[in-house]
């Protein structure tokens, strides 16, 4: 299968490689990027045989809208656009309607896997009409992890990004719990080796998880996280999760508190946010700020 891929950053570049390893052809484009296969969206579209599939891995909001607008002009009826970025689910219906007016299909896809996805595979949550999903299925199969789980057709357009948003909201709360526990252990005079306490939890406990493994990895790199400033950004999906909870009258006390805890990191150096920053760097390659 041929695929046009727009966006070749940390996620997009590795996704291109994984798809190619599965035997598919990927024509990648990103502006001002040496790794790009072509130098414009138009050139990318022209390099693909119709009917085409084009996958977006670009920042949510205005950037995604701009690319959708340009593709609406460049693509043909029967083509399909996949938005694999972290777009707000409410944008998906608009994009699908704009493209449908030109006979172009649309699928939204939440992608999780960070910098580890190239080797381990990417968890995929996608929404859209069955016929459009079927067109993209070979690419989903190439990207997903090995095994029975790791990918789901979550529902209609918007379902993929909504599911990924909730996933990230849960991620917020889990990271906050590890961060709070770590700070409390560090504060207790009785505990003399916090890192090894965390390591001991990796076997036989109910909180053993990949996130715990990454916490231990971060502590191995910097035992007391002294090199990090206690600052952690929020990507927007935590906010959207809380807003959706309000709209649906669903109580989310843990996720909401974890979002507010990140806001506290904007005020002064926060020990808990050192751990959150370290975990985000470990699983997603997100930037950290030096304590110096």
Alpha helices in the chain (DSSP H): 10-21, 41-47, 62-74, 89-100, 117-120, 130-143, 159-187, 194-200, 210-221, 237-248, 253-264, 271-284
> For 290, which DSSP code?
B
CA separation, residue 164 to residues 84, 136, 161, 169 (Å): 10, 18, 5, 9
Which residues, listed in sequence order, are joined to residue 127 by a DSSP beta bridge? 108, 155
What's the rounded Cα separation, in Å, for the pair 109 and 106? Answer: 10
C-alpha angle 260-182-203 in degrees, rounded to nearest 5: 120
Strands 105-112 and 80-83: parallel
Residues involved in catalysis? 164, 171
Which residues, listed in sequence order, are joined to residue 151 by a DSSP beta bridge? 124
Residue 62 is encoded by which pair of tokens?
């205005």
> Could you tell me which residues come within 8 angstroms of residue 196 by beta carbon, excluding any fewer than 6 positions away?
none
Chain-centroid distance, C-alpha 213: 19
> For 58, which DSSP code?
-
């Amino acid at each position: 299968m041929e695929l046009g891929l727009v966006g070749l950053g940390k996620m997009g570049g590795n996704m291109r490689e994984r798809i190619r390893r599965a035997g598919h052809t990927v024509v990648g484009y990103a502006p001002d990027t040496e790794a790009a296969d072509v130098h414009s969206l138009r050139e990318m579209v022209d390099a693909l045989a119709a009917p085409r599939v084009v996958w977006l891995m670009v920042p949510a909001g205005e950037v995604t809208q701009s690319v959708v607008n340009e593709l609406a002009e460049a693509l043909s009826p029967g083509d399909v656009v996949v938005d694999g970025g972290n777009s707000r689910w409410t944008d998906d219906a608009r994009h699908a309607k704009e493209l449908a007016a030109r006979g172009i299909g649309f699928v939204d896809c939440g992608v999780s896997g960070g910098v580890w996805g190239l080797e381990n595979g990417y968890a995929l949550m996608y929404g859209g009409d069955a016929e459009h999903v079927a067109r993209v299925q070979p690419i989903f199969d190439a990207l997903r992890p090995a095994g029975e789980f790791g990918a789901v057709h979550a529902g209609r357009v918007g379902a993929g990004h909504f599911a990924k948003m909730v996933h990230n909201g849960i991620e917020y709360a889990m990271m906050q719990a590890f961060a709070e526990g770590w700070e409390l252990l560090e504060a207790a005079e009785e505990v003399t080796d916090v890192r090894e306490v965390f390591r001991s939890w990796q076997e036989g406990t109910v909180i053993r998880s990949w996130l715990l493994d990454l916490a231990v990895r971060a502590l191995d790199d910097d035992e007391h996280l002294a090199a990090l400033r206690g600052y952690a950004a929020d990507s927007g999906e935590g906010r959207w999760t809380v807003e959706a909870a309000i709209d649906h009258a669903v109580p989310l006390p843990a996720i909401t508190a974890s979002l507010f805890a990140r806001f506290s990191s904007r005020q002064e150096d926060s020990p808990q946010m050192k751990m959150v920053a370290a975990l985000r760097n470990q699983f997603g390659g997100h930037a950290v700020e030096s304590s110096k």
